[in-house]
Copies of this chain bind each other. A is one copy, B any other.
Amino acid sequence: MTYCVAIKVAQGLVFASDSRTNAGVDYISTYSKMYSFDLPDDRAMVLLSSGNLATTQAVINCIKRDIENDTAVNLKNVHYLYDAADYIGKLVKQYQKEHGDTLGKSGISAEASFILGGQIRGHEQEIYLIYPQGNYISASEDTPYLQIGETKYGKPILDRIIRTDTTLGDAARCALVSLDSTIRSNISVGPPIELAICDANDFQISRYLSLDTGTQFFTSLQKSWNDGLRRAFNRLPRFEWELPELVKDSKTSSGN
């Protein structure tokens, strides 16, 4: 399994991904699921991947080869980010078709999903979710984030915090909390967590972090969040049937 999330706020884009890959529970390894490419100064793109590792590797290799060979359509020369999403969607379908039948006979899915985010000069920043079927959707003002992989455990905090006017720092922290909740609940999602931020109109990855289990910043973020949640929980209103005891207690202590 995998969990990747991309967030689009007014100040820029945030990308976060875990690094655990597994073929069954007895073959677990670590692979980056975040890719960037050698592109001209007028553009930046980040790709997050989920699904069959052979399919995602084949797609990434083909994207890089097409850039090197400067083919008719590649990430260097597309005019719009949705052209890039369309191009990647076609590659996904192509590689899934190539190996899908034989994989299907072994009960394995060849499917892969991607999130593509970035900016081409003259246009706004955008993020796209590219489905295994090759079609794609973009984020919107009302839904300013996209997820792939094990999406449910980490969704509630995104729904509560992320708005278009959220700062890049808060959006990045929210992505880390979302990853942390997922890692705690699904053993097939694991560190290191990669975090990339693209400031609007910067046309490059402005900041990048790789956070492993022992990384001090990540440990203190996890602790702070856990403590904060417990504090929030302990402040929740009491049920009516709990109150008499409190009253009794306070009477007893005032009588002392």
Contact = CB atoms under 8 A, between A and B. Distances in A.
The quantity of this chain's copies bound in the complex is 2
A226 to B, nearest CB: 7
B232 A217 contact: no
A217 B237 contact: yes
Contacts of A233: 157, 161, 170, 173-174, 177, 225, 228
Interface residues of A, number: 40
A236 B207 contact: no
Interface stretch (A55-63, A96-104, A238-246): A238-246
A105 interface: no
A231 B207 CA distance: 26
Contact of A156 (B153, B220, B236): B153
A82 to B, nearest CB: 28
Interface string A212-241: 000001001100111111111101111111
Contacts of A238: 169
B185 A155 contact: yes
A229 B153 contact: no
Interface of A: 152-153, 155-157, 159-161, 169-170, 172-174, 177, 181, 184-185, 207, 209, 217, 220-221, 224-233, 235-242
